[in-house]
Amino acid sequence: MTRPTLAQAHPVAQALAIEAAGLVKRFDGTLAVDGVDISVPEGAIYGILGPNGAGKTTTLRMLLGIIDPDEGVRRVFGHDRPHEVAKLIGYLPEERGLYPAMKCDDAIAFLGALRGLPLDIGKARGRELLEQHGLGHAIDRQIRHLSKGMAQTVQLLGTLVHRPKLVVFDEPFSGLDAINQGKLEQLIRRLADEGTTVIFSTHVIHHAERLCDEVAIIAGGKVPYAGSVDAARDRIPAQVRLETRAPGGTWRTALPDDARHDAKAGGSHFWYFPVPESGIAALLKRLIEGEAGILSLSIERAGLHDAFVEIAGEAAARALADDGASEAVR
């Protein structure tokens, strides 16, 4: 099979932080990633969404040059060898790890030095970042004496200390409580507002839906969808949610035969169906004339979860839900 070139995969000229075509990776004969195409515009918040084991981490590592693909090509800021632009990249792996005997500011400076930032500048910036993020009291504290959440924040700041143009987070929300998840979401938005490209992998749909301009849905090592969140949601027709006082009548013929009906204990009746081709105005006219007793009517757009099920299938969606439930238990 002939794999696509980058020009074939991404024919539209635009400024891309990352572009990849036909990425394939095998481990001991097992196909982990099978022909992934991805393009990430500069300045975007881009999510790679899929269950654990889908190939998210392997894809990120290939994009960053940590491992090489068996087939396919990728570029970072136009460079075929991502290591050539390592100074422009910040990477937070899923496996967190800091030297426990290091002090916080030294740990941040060390991570910056790995990306070419002089140690003295890294240490000064590290102290400034720790103050900004409410950890000024821990500047001289050793990593071993920090809580798990504080240590994660230190590693995150070390990822950003050299002021990268591209930041890649692998499952960054994993293990964070709700407050720190909210803080991280704010940080991601702020980075994007400053022009930084942010890519993060996740198995939690609501993070991708709230934050991302574009997503790549990955399941079984393949990417069945890559594009805007809005376009993914629009693959499923919007649904009308109608609440009536009357359970039926002549107006009922205005609804599709397969409209879903739920009766509530309080006497209300709910109906769910796609927006009719004749439009909402014509529907309202027939409902009013038929004395349906309209209590509410709204048009509800599909969420990213519904789009994920449509694109990746029920099995992948169940795996995604199971991952979220397992993390909530931990």
Burial class, 206, CB count within 10 angstroms (exposed 0-12 / middle 13-18 / buried 19+): middle
CB atoms < 10 A from the CB of 238, how many?
Answer: 14
Entry pTM: 0.84
* 176 pLDDT more than 90: no
Q: How many domains does the chain have?
A: 2
pLDDT of residue 323: 72
* 6 pLDDT more than 60: no
Do 244 and 219 lie in a common domain?
Answer: no
Of 202, 229, 256, which one is at a domain's C-terminal end?
229
Q: Which residue from 171, 175, 169 is spatially nearest to 191, judged by alpha carbons?
A: 169
Do 244 and 182 lie in a common domain?
Answer: no
For residue 160, being part of any structural domain is answered with: yes
Helices assigned H by DSSP within 17-167: 56-64, 104-113, 119-132, 148-160
The residue-averaged pLDDT of 77-88 equals: 94
* 329 pLDDT more than 80: no
For residue 121, being part of any structural domain is answered with: yes
Distance between CA atoms of 250 and 155, rounded to whole angstroms? 65
Residue indicated by tokens 């992948």: 316
Do 49 and 162 lie in a common domain?
Answer: yes
Range of the domain at 224: 6-229
Q: Are 99 and 62 in contact (CB under 8 A)?
A: no
What is the CATH number for 263? 3.30.70
Instruction: Measure Cα distances from 170 to 29, 221, 276, 297 in Å.
Output: 25, 16, 42, 41
What is the CATH number for 124? 3.40.50.300
Q: Are 161 and 8 in contact (CB under 8 A)?
A: no
pLDDT tier at 1 (50, 70, 90 boundaries)? very low
The residue-averaged pLDDT of 312-328 equals: 78
Of 199, 229, 259, which one is at a domain's C-terminal end?
229
SS3 for 247-279 is CCCHHHHHCCCCCEEEECCCCCEEEEEECCCCC
